[in-house]
Structure 1
Amino acid sequence: MKRTGAFLFASLILATTANAADKVSFGTNWLAEAEHGGYYQALVDGTYEKYGLDVTIVPGGPQANNGLLLAAGKLEFYMGGNLLLAFDAVDQDLGIVVVAAHFQKDPQMVMSHPGVGLHKWEDLPQATAFIGKEGLASFYRWMETSYGFKEENVKPYTFNPAPFIADTHSIQQGYVTSEPFAVEREGHFKPNIFLFADHGYGTYATTIETRADVIEKRKDVVQRFVDASTIGWYHYLYGDNTKANERIKRDNPEMTDEQIAFSIAKMKEYGLVDSGDTLKHGVGAMTDERVKSFYDEMVKAGVVKAGLDYKKAYTLEFVNKGVGLDLRPK
Structure 2
Amino acid sequence: MSIAKLVRLLTVALIVAGMPVLAAAQTPSAPQTAALDKVSFGTNWVAQAEHGGFFQAVADGTYKRYGLDVTIVPGGPNVNNRILMISGKIDFFMSANSLQTFDAVTNNIPTVAVASMFQKEPQVLLAHPEANVKTLEDLKPLTLFISKEGIVSYFQWLKTEYGFDENKVKPYTFNPQPFLADKKSAMQGYVSSEPFTVEKQGGFKPSIVLIADYGFNSYSTLIETRRALAESKPDLVQRFVDASIVGWYTYIYGDNSAGNAMIKKLNPEMTDDLLKFSVEKMKEYGIVDSGDTLKDGIGAMSDARMTSFFDKMVKAGVVRADIDYRKGYTLRFVNKGVGLNLRPKN
**TM-score over 0.5 (shorter chain):** yes
| Partner secondary structure for residue 99 of structure 1 | strand
Partners of 1:233 and 1:117 in 2: how far apart? Answer: 35
Aligned to 1:4: none
CA contact (8 A) 2:115 2:222 kept: yes
Identical aligned pairs, as a percentage?
Answer: 61
**2:115 matches 1:100:** yes
Does structure 2 retain, via aligned residues, the 8 Å contact 1:118–1:169?
Answer: no
User: Does 2:256 correspond to 1:241?
Assistant: yes
Is 1:311 the equivalent of 2:299? no
What secondary structure sits across from 2:44 in the alignment? coil
CA distance in 2, matches of 1:305, 1:265: 37
> In the alignment, is the contact (CA less than 8 A) between 1:112 and 1:119 conserved in 2?
no
The DSSP-based 3-state class of the residue aligned with 2:120 is: coil
User: Residues of 2 paired with 1:320 and 1:262: CA distance?
Assistant: 29
Larger radius of gyration: 1
Q: How big is the shift at 1:280?
A: 0.2
SS at match of 1:210: strand
Match of 1:274 in 2: 289
Alignment-derived partner of residue 102 in structure 2: 87
Deviation at 1:116, TM superposition (A): 2.5
State how far apart, in whole Å, the 2-side matches of 1:35 and 1:119 are: 26
Q: What TM-score do you get using the length of structure 1 for normalisation?
A: 0.94
Gapped regions of structure 2 (runs ≥ 5): 1-31
For the Cα contact (< 8 Å) 2:43–2:93, is it kept in 1? yes
Aligned to 2:306: 291
Q: CA deviation at 1:117?
A: 3.3
Give the superposition deviation at 1:119.
Answer: 2.9
Deviations 1:81-126 (A, max 9, x none): 0000110011111111000000000001101111323333221112
Residues 108-257 of structure 1: pairs in structure 2 closer than 5 A: 108-257=123-272
Ranges of 4+ aligned residues in structure 1 off by more than 4 Å: none
Matched residues, number: 314
Query: Partners in 2 of 1:210 and 1:188 — Cα distance?
Result: 42
Inter-partner Cα distance in structure 1 for 2:270 and 2:323? 39
Q: What's the offset of the Cα at 1:17?
A: 4.0
Structure 1: distance between partners of 2:108 and 2:95 = 16
* Unmatched segments (≥5 aa) in structure 1: 1-15
CA contact (8 A) 1:77 1:208 kept: yes
Alpha carbons 1:105, 1:271 under 8 Å: kept: yes
Query: Contact 2:130 / 2:183 at 8 angstroms: preserved in 1?
Result: no
* RMSD between aligned residues: 1.0
2: CA distance, partners of 1:293 / 1:226: 24
